[in-house]
Chains A and B, each alone.
Chain A
Amino acid sequence: MALTDQGLTDAAKALELGLATGLGAIGPGVGVGFIFGKTIEAVGRQPELRGQLQGLMWLGFALTEAIVFYALGMAFVAFSIA
Chain B
Amino acid sequence: MISILAASSSFDPVAEFTDFISNPYVDLPLGLDINKAVIYIWMAGLLATLLPLYVIRRGLKPRPDGAQTTAEAVYDMTENQIARAGLPEEGMRLWFPYVASLFFFIWMMNLIGFIPLPFGDHKVDLFGLDVPQFQIYAATANLSVTLALTLCTFFIQHIEGVRHNGVIGYLKSWMPSGLPAFGIKTAPLLILIAFIEVISQFVRIVSLSFRLFFNLLAGHLVIAVFLAIAVLLGGGQLVFWPVHLLVGLPMGVAIFALEFTLIAGLQAFIFASLSAIYIGGAIHPDH
A interface vs B, CB < 8 Å? 55, 58-59, 61-63, 65-66, 69-70, 72-73, 76, 79-80
Please pick, from B14, B85, B218, B266, the residue contacting A62 in the complex, using a CB distance under 8 A. B266
A69 touches B211 (CB 8 A): yes
B215 touches A66 (CB 8 A): yes
B213: which A residues are within 8 A, CB to CB? 69
Assuming the A-B contacts A59-B273, A76-B14, A79-B14, are A66 and B266 also in contact, with contact meaning beta carbons closer than 8 angstroms in the complex?
no
Q: Which single residue of chain A is at the shortest CB-CB distance from B81? A: A55
Number of A-B contacts (CB under 8 A): 37
- The 23 listed contacts between A and B (C-beta, < 8 Å) are A55-B81, A55-B85, A58-B266, A59-B270, A59-B273, A61-B266, A62-B211, A65-B215, A66-B207, A66-B210, A66-B211, A69-B211, A69-B213, A69-B214, A69-B218, A70-B210, A70-B214, A72-B218, A73-B210, A73-B214, A76-B13, A79-B14, A80-B14
- A80 and B13 alpha carbons, distance in the complex (Å): 9
Interface majority SS on B: helix, strand, loop or mixed? helix
A62 touches B270 (CB 8 A): yes
Q: How far is the CB of A65 from chain B (nearest CB, A)?
A: 8
- A55 and B207 alpha carbons, distance in the complex (Å): 20
Assuming the A-B contacts A55-B81, A59-B270, A62-B267, are A69 and B14 also in contact, with contact meaning beta carbons closer than 8 angstroms in the complex?
no
0 or 1 for each of B43-86: is its CB under 8 Å from A? (1 = yes)? 00000000000000000000000000000000000000100010
Q: Tell me if B134 counts as interface (CB < 8 A to partner A).
A: no
- A79 and B13 alpha carbons, distance in the complex (Å): 10
Q: Which single residue of chain B is at the shortest CB-CB distance from A81? A: B14
Give the interface size class of chain B: 10 to 19
Q: Which single residue of chain B is at the shortest CB-CB distance from A61? A: B266
Given contacts A69-B218, A79-B14, A80-B14, 14 further A-B contacts (CB under 8 A): A55-B81, A55-B85, A58-B266, A58-B270, A59-B270, A62-B266, A66-B207, A66-B214, A66-B215, A69-B214, A70-B214, A76-B13, A76-B14, A79-B13
Q: Which single residue of chain A is at the shortest CB-CB distance from B267? A: A62
Q: How far is the CB of B9 from chain A (nearest CB, A)?
A: 13
B269: which A residues are within 8 A, CB to CB? 58, 62
A69 touches B215 (CB 8 A): yes
B218: which A residues are within 8 A, CB to CB? 69, 72
